[in-house]
Each structure stands twice: as structure tokens, then as C-alpha cells.
Structure 1
Amino acid sequence: MSSHAAPSLSTLMVKASAQEKLSPAQQRFNDLLERIERLSVQIQRLQAWSDKHRYAHIQSLRESVQLAQTHRKSLLLFVHERLQTADLTDRQQGMARGMVRGLIDHLAPMADPQVQSLADVYVSEEDTQEEAQEQAEAAQRLRERIEEALGQPIEKPDQYQTPEEMMQAGMRQWQRQQEADEQRKAAKRAARKAQKQAQKKCAAAEKGEVPAALMRALDAKSAIRTLFRQLASALHPDREPDETERLRKTALMSEVNAAYEKNDLTTLLRLQMQVTQGAPQNKAGAARMADDKLIAMSVLLKEQVSALQDDLDELQSRLSQELCVPVRADADEATMTQALQRIQADQRHSADSLAADLRRIQNDTELKRWLKEQWQLAKATSA
């Protein structure tokens, strides 16, 4: 690694003089550097926040979920046993069987032999048929609302027997509509663009001109190649007699090679500034570059902005899924940390509530009262 701290990108920006304002090319160059700096800082801060909280948070959630599943299994076995022995009315037995089926649904991912054996008992063909009928009726009601929103019938509606399947079918059909509309619009835009480009090419060919976009791309490659060669020449380790300095240059040259492979212009500019520190007469800073060179370099900087934005989006999406809370680089870190703490507390509370229920229903009077409360709660939730 270099013995000098890497300079901030702000030191690479073109500075306006008292006599002249920045040109549009200089402003664009500065804007891209600023965006690269901002995105890089956001990624670093978000990764640091993740490193600080991620492991402990995931571990806490895993422990709470495992404890809750243990309590659910104990509840399942207890209610099943009381169904065989307790003095329950037909209505209470129905409530208890419904409670057992609900617990089995929660425990299904465990693939536990005891849970599976009870599932074979309680999830009977009659229950399955009744549930399928309810699902089909709900799917039909949802189909009517979706068709009204789409303005056309759902394709092959008989294939979808549950509200979830009907909703997914409606979403796919809506997406196809949107994609078809967008494709038609894109085709029109592409045709107009192709026509304009063809006209420009014809005009350029008549004048013997090279397209400006191609020139900028070629200039960008040329600029970064020139910068690489200057650095390679200045840092050549074999030309350095001092052992310490040779090691420093070897490390810097390794960074130069890696940056050149990735077309990482900002790193090369930073390294150039480190190499030329203390030798102002050798500096070829952005302020001295002609606008055409800045425009060419901006092509590379724009690519870096796009790559960094993709990296940030991927990091935010991955952490949101892993941590079960919305994660945004522009959000307040304390607020996100509080969200982690809330979901941890909710999971612990869920496990504690199940344990409290299990202690409570040890006598038949409380069991009956609890079954009624759970039935009413399930009814209110589904309403």
C-alpha cells in the first residue's frame, strides 16, 4: 500500500478562476467526480453499518424463530393430547382442530416426523376439499376485480384455483400489457432514432467526418492509456535504487495495473496526484486539460457512476432481504438500527407469548377460554 493517504476526489476537480467561469465540460467533469465520491462514501458507510450489526441481528432472529417453533410444537402436542382427553363441546373441538391445523402450517418447514404424523391426521380430505372450495370462491371474487381493472378477461381463468394464483396471473397479464405498450413505444423511438442516425451518418460520410460519440470513446481510451503509461514510467521499480522506495513503487504499480484493467479513471488520477506530490512542475491536473480531453474522460467517469450505482442498489437489496427491514444508504443509521431492534423485540415477544399460552392452558378452563380467544382472533384477522 502507498505511504500517502489517497487524496479526496475534490482535489481532482477543476477550480474556477477569478477571471473565468467553468466551461460546461469542466462542470460535467466535476459533477461526475462528485457523484463518484458520494456513491463510494455511501457504499462504504452502509457496508460498515452492516458489518457492525448484521451478524448479531441475524443470530438474534434465528434464535427467536427457533424458540418460537419449539413452543409451537409443544402447543401442538398439548392441544392434540387434550383433544383426546378433555371434556370439550363439539364447537370447542372444532376450534381446537382449527388451532392444531394452524400450528401445523407454521411448523411445516421443520419437516418434523411428529408434526408430519399429526398433519396426516388433521389435514383430512374433507378439510382439504372445504378449504379448496373457499379458495376457489375467493379466487373468483378476485378475478372479477382484476378483470375490471385490466379492462379485459383473465386468460384461461380455470387454471387458477386460489387467490394467490389468480393475483399472480393478473399481475403477469398486466405486465404483458405494459411490456407490449413499452415495446411499441420503444420500436417507434428506435425507428425515429435510427432514421436520424442514418441521416447523420450520410451527412458525415459526405463530409468525411467521424461520429462524435466514437471520437469521444476513442479519446477516452487514449486518455486513460496515456495516463497509465505516464504512471508506469514514473513508478518503474527496476529504476529505483533505494529498497524502501522500490517497495513503495511496486505497491503503487500494482494499484495502477488493477485500476487500468478496470478503466478506473479516478483511481489513476488519484495515484498520479500521489506520485507528483511535491513536484508541481510535473502535474498535469484536470485544470490544464482541454475541454475535449475532459469530455473524453467524462465517458469513463459516467461508466464508473453507473457501476457504483449498481453496486449500491445490489447492496441495499441484499441487506434488506437478509435483515428483514428496509435498508437505504440515504437513511439515518440510527433509524435503521432502531428498526433492527424493533424486529428483534417483536420476534422475542412472539416466542414469549407462545410460552405464556402454553403455561396458561394447563387447566381445562383456561384451555377452553384460550381456544375461544384464538378463534375470535383468527376470525377478526381474516375479515
Structure 2
Amino acid sequence: MSLSALVLHPEANAQLTPAQQRFNDLLAQIERLSGQIQRLQAWSDQHRYAHIQALRESVQLSQAHRKSLLLFVHERLQTADFTERQQRMARGLVRGLMAHLATSHDPEVQALAEIYVNEEDEQEAAQEQAEAAQRLRERIEEAMGQPIEKPGQYQTPEEMVQAGMRQWQRQQQADEERKTAKRAARKAQKQAQKKSAASAKGEVPVALLRELDAKSAIRTIFRQLASALHPDREPDEAERLRKTALMSEVNAAYEKNDLSTLLRLQMQATRGNSLSVAGSARMTDDKLIAMSLLLKEQVAALEDDLDQLENRLSRELCVPVRADADEAALSQSLQRIQADQRHSADSLAADLRRIQNDAELKRWLKAQWQLAKATSA
């Protein structure tokens, strides 16, 4: 049942009061956010597994091609007529391929790693990595707007990227904690001011009264539902099962102070009859303001749930995921990244076919060397 059934309507020749309008606006926000979460989750359920599986297959294929390239270049290093510069380029390429394959724990790859780990190659590789890390550091610092902490600890581009990500995440977390602390401080200050003013007048703070009214309202609805849905009082088996299921939802909503769900369940329990607590436009504004406090908390919780869902899916699917984006556009983003991964695997396979003769191998080595330089620049 839609929350629109809970919307308050003005009586004849009257307008909604600000409290009534605020109550309706919060219901609309809850319905919008709940709908976004449900649609995004449904979209994820439809596409997530197939997308991750397609990426996994492409990555595995790319790794297999990289290993074949690694073994082939290593073999040609032993037999081909390479100049000293070409040998350096080939060794650099071999190290790059091994870096991509480092997590595979493949015995053949590990055996080659031991062969290529010598002092000269280590120094050459370390210098290349340090230069690439320095260039990457400058780009990261420009993007973040602040220097990377203790940059001397990170000697490779991978380490520099990870350090930048960790620092950025810490920065975001610290910013969020500061915002949260400021909001809490402002709220506490306002409450303290209200309490102080009320105490000076010998009055009970309005905010406290409204909070008590909100708790009273949600408790009243819960008790009404518990009474109406008690399964032991229902002789009809089908109706008993319906009420048992509804009561389970009622208990979960009550534990979370989920007022909108309790109101919706009350409509279901009464088969659409008028609500005794919130269904009347004649309800006092004070009562509506109190209930709106709970609805506002629910809006904040839904916004947080939606943000977490978007961030999780963005990480898992490797594309930016937003609930307000068109589902077709999101699906196209998945297709593009799958196509990119397939293209990467196809390119590696094409390279392997191309370099079967020494002339093409040498041209390919030079092109790869120049590409690596341009990428790290």
C-alpha cells in the first residue's frame, strides 16, 4: 500500500496548515527514498551477478594472455638478437607483466621473478618506479588539493595511489565527523537554550513535549495494531496467517521507530479504513509536529541507507551508481566497462599473435616502452 494513502487532505473551504503540509512533505520524501532504494536494489539484483562474472572472465583471460606474453618475451630474450637498449626495454616489459601477475602465485611466474631479480634490474626498476611514482604523486596532490603525507615511504605508483586513496578517505571521514560534530553541537546548543528559557519561565520545553508526543503516538499505534492483529483471536486460518505476517512487520517497524511503516500497516490491518491517529485533517498541529519528528528521523536514515547502497554498488561494479540516474544509462555503463575489459583481453591476444617474428617483436617493444612512458607522465 502506498504512503499516499496517509496524506492529509484539507477540509472543505480550508487550506493545509504548515504542520499538515510538513507532514505530507515528509511522507512524500520517505516514499521517494524508499522507491529509489527498491528500484536500485532491483536493478542490482538483475545486473550485478552477470556483470561481475563477465568482468571476472575478462580479467582471467587477460591474465592468461599476459602470462603467455611474459613467457614468450623471456624466451626471446635468451635467443633473439637484441641491442642493449632493446634488452632493457624487454626486461622492463617482463617486470611490468610480472607486476600484473604478482597476485596469481603462479609457479612459472614466480620462477621468472627470481631470474629477473638481480641488482642491476632492481636498480633500474626502482628508478623507473620512483620516477613514475613522483609524477603520479604530483597529479594526486593536485586532485586532492593537499600534499600526500610522508611521500618518501611510497616508491611505486601502486603504493602512491593507495596512499592517496587512504588519505582521501581519511579526509572525507574527518570532514564528515566534523560536520556531524557541528550538527550535534548546534542541536545540543539549541536544546540547551530552549531548556534554559523554559526553566526560567517554569515551563516544560516545547521540543521535549513534542518528543514525548511523538513517542506516545508511535506507542499508541503499536498498541492498536498489536490488539487488532493478535493471531490467537482470529478463528479463520488464512486471516490468522495474514495477521501473523503483519504483526512481524509491526514489531520490526516499532523497534526502528518507523512511523510511516506503522501507519501503512495500520491501513492494511484495517483494510483501508480511516486511521485513528494520523488519518484525520482535524489532528492538532502539535500532534502532527511531534509525529513529523519521527518522520524526519526516518528520512535521514533512508538517505543514509541510499548513500551506502550507491557507494557499495559503485565499488563492486566499478562504475558510478546513483539512484537518480536512468536505469538504461546505468546498464549501458556496465556494458561499456565490460566491452573495455574484453577489448583489453583482445588487445593482449593480438599482441601475442603479432610478435611471433623478431622484427615485429622489436617494433612492439619500442611501442610498449613509449606507451608506458606516456602513461606514467
SS in 1 for 2:295: helix
One of 70, 84, 89 as aligned partner of 2:83: 89
Which range is displaced more, 158-167 or 126-135?
158-167
Residues 213-240 of structure 1: per-residue CA shift (max 9 Å, x gap): 2222211110011111112222223333
One of 62, 77, 99 as aligned partner of 2:56: 62
Gaps of 5+ in 1: 1-6
Pairs within 5 Å for 1:77-156: 77-133=71-127
SS in 2 for 1:354: helix
Task: State whether residues 36 and 305 of structure 1, in contact with CA within 8 Å, keep that contact through their aligned partners in structure 2.
Answer: yes
Q: State the Cα distance separating 1:156 from its structure 2 match.
A: 6.5
Aligned mates of 2:339, 2:172 — CA distance in 1: 41
Which range is displaced more, 148-157 or 217-226?
148-157
Which range is displaced more, 63-72 or 350-359?
350-359
Residues 98-141 of structure 1: per-residue CA shift (max 9 Å, x gap): 11111111111111121122122224323333444455567778
Q: Which residue identity lines up with residue 294 of structure 1 in the other structure?
A: L
CA distance change for structure 1 residues 153 and 239 in 2, over 3 Å: closer, same or farther? closer
- Partner of 1:205 in structure 2? 199
- Partner of 2:218 in structure 1? 224
Aligned mates of 1:185, 1:304 — CA distance in 2: 20
One of 68, 72, 82 as aligned partner of 1:74: 68
Q: Which residue identity lines up with residue 366 of structure 2 in the other structure?
A: K
- Partner of 2:279 in structure 1? 285
Task: State whether residues 23 and 292 of structure 2, in contact with CA within 8 Å, keep that contact through their aligned partners in structure 1.
Answer: yes
Q: Are 1:22 and 2:16 an aligned pair?
A: yes
Q: State the Cα distance separating 1:50 from its structure 2 match.
A: 0.7
Aligned mates of 2:184, 2:229 — CA distance in 1: 48
Q: Are 1:357 and 2:355 an aligned pair?
A: no
Aligned mates of 1:204, 1:96 — CA distance in 2: 80
One of 281, 298, 309 as aligned partner of 1:304: 298
Percent sequence identity is 81
- Partner of 2:268 in structure 1? 274
Aligned mates of 2:318, 2:136 — CA distance in 1: 29
CA distance change for structure 1 residues 182 and 373 in 2, over 3 Å: closer, same or farther? closer
Residues 176-198 of structure 1: per-residue CA shift (max 9 Å, x gap): 99999999999999888877655
Q: Which residue identity lines up with residue 240 of structure 1 in the other structure?
A: E
Which range is displaced more, 227-236 or 191-200?
191-200
One of 6, 12, 17 as aligned partner of 2:6: 12
- Partner of 1:256 in structure 2? 250
SS in 2 for 1:255: helix
Q: State the Cα distance separating 1:370 from its structure 2 match.
A: 1.6
Aligned mates of 1:228, 1:170 — CA distance in 2: 50
Task: State whether residues 54 and 323 of structure 1, in contact with CA within 8 Å, keep that contact through their aligned partners in structure 2.
Answer: yes
Aligned mates of 1:303, 1:220 — CA distance in 2: 11
Q: State the Cα distance separating 1:335 from its structure 2 match.
A: 0.9
Aligned mates of 1:168, 1:118 — CA distance in 2: 26
SS in 2 for 1:288: coil
Larger radius of gyration: 1
Normalised to the residue count of structure 1, the TM-score between the two structures is 0.84
Normalised to the residue count of structure 2, the TM-score between the two structures is 0.85
Task: State whether residues 13 and 287 of structure 1, in contact with CA within 8 Å, keep that contact through their aligned partners in structure 2.
Answer: no
CA distance change for structure 1 residues 348 and 188 in 2, over 3 Å: closer, same or farther? closer
Q: State the Cα distance separating 1:75 from its structure 2 match.
A: 0.7
CA distance change for structure 1 residues 196 and 235 in 2, over 3 Å: closer, same or farther? closer
- Partner of 2:259 in structure 1? 265
Q: Are 1:348 and 2:334 an aligned pair?
A: no
Which range is displaced more, 202-211 or 341-350?
202-211
- Partner of 2:328 in structure 1? 334
Aligned mates of 1:181, 1:244 — CA distance in 2: 53
Task: State whether residues 286 and 294 of structure 1, in contact with CA within 8 Å, keep that contact through their aligned partners in structure 2.
Answer: no
- Partner of 2:240 in structure 1? 246
Aligned mates of 1:371, 1:224 — CA distance in 2: 72
CA RMSD of aligned residues (A): 3.7
Gaps of 5+ in 2: none
CA distance change for structure 1 residues 26 and 175 in 2, over 3 Å: closer, same or farther? same
Aligned mates of 1:316, 1:362 — CA distance in 2: 46
Task: State whether residues 12 and 286 of structure 1, in contact with CA within 8 Å, keep that contact through their aligned partners in structure 2.
Answer: no
Aligned mates of 1:102, 1:366 — CA distance in 2: 20
Residues 232-251 of structure 1: per-residue CA shift (max 9 Å, x gap): 22222333333333333233
CA distance change for structure 1 residues 358 and 267 in 2, over 3 Å: closer, same or farther? same
Task: State whether residues 323 and 340 of structure 1, in contact with CA within 8 Å, keep that contact through their aligned partners in structure 2.
Answer: yes
Task: State whether residues 266 and 275 of structure 2, in contact with CA within 8 Å, keep that contact through their aligned partners in structure 1.
Answer: no
